[in-house]
Structure 1
Amino acid sequence: MTTQVSHGASGAIRRFAGWVGRGSVGYPLFDQYKPQGRSDVDGYWETLSSEASSLETLFAVFLNNLELDEEGEPTNEKYAERRAATFLFSYMTGELPPGEPDIGGDEATTY
C-alpha cells in the first residue's frame, strides 16, 4: 500500500486544477454542446470564484470519479474530467449536455 499520492495521480490533479484556473475545463464539451445563443458557460471562472461551494463540488466530482490502479496510478482521467465538465455545464446552464447522464449523489459528495 502506498503512503503518498503517486506521480500519475498528482499529475492528473495538477492538470485538472490548471484547466479550472485557466477557465478551460469542459472544452470541447462546452463548444460542442453550447446551448443556442447562450453565453452562460463562457467565463464560468467568475461564477466559481464567487461561489466556493460550486468549486469544491467541481473538484469532488473529478476526484470521486478518478480511479487508481494498485500502484495508485490513474486509469480513467479523461472520464473523470468529462464528468466534472458535465457537472460544470449543468451548474452553469441548468441543462445536461446531450447524451450525458446526470451527476449522481456519490459523484458530488464532498468529504
Structure 2
Amino acid sequence: MKNCLSNSFSGALRTFAYFMASGTHYNLEGIDYLSLYGNEPSAIEQVFAIYANVIQLDENGRVLNAKYAEKRATDYLRAYCDPSFEVKPAYEDWEICLHAPSTANDLI
C-alpha cells in the first residue's frame, strides 16, 4: 500500500519529534520538559495533538506552516511547565482537540 503522507509532512513531523525527544527544541529553551516523558505522558500527547491539528498542507502535500505548528504546540508545553507563561492567542477548541485513535484492526 502506498504511504499517504507526503515526504514534506513526514520530514516536518520527524524533525519536530527529534527536537521534542532530544530536549533541544528552541521554543522550549530553559524549560525542563524531558522529565514529562514517562511521568506525564498526557502533556506530550497534547503537544503532538496540537501540532497535528494546526499543521497545514497544500494540495500537493507540502507543509505550509511547520514553524507555526511547532510554536502553537510548544507554547502549550511551556505554559504547562511555567504557569506564568500565557499562550497568545488563546487556543481554539479545534487546536487542542484529541481525536480518537485508530482501531487495533487497521493492521495491513
TM bracket (short chain): 0.7 to 0.9
TM-score using structure 1 length: 0.78
Name the counterpart of 2:20. Answer: 20
**RMSD, matched Cα:** 2.0
How many Å separate the matches in 1 of 2:35 and 2:28?
Answer: 16
Q: Is the 8 A contact 1:12 1:74 kept in 2?
A: yes
Q: CA deviation at 1:101?
A: 1.6
TM-score using structure 2 length: 0.80
Poorly superposed stretches of 4+, deviation over 6 Å: none
Q: CA deviation at 1:30?
A: 4.0
> Number of residue pairs matched?
98
1:44 aligns with 2:33: yes
Consecutive unaligned residues in structure 1, runs of 5 or more: 32-38
Consecutive unaligned residues in structure 2, runs of 5 or more: 100-108
Aligned-residue sequence identity (percent) comes to 32
Higher relative contact order (CA 8 A, sep 6+): 1
Gap change, CA 1:3 and 1:108, over 3 Å in 2: same
1:75 aligns with 2:43: no
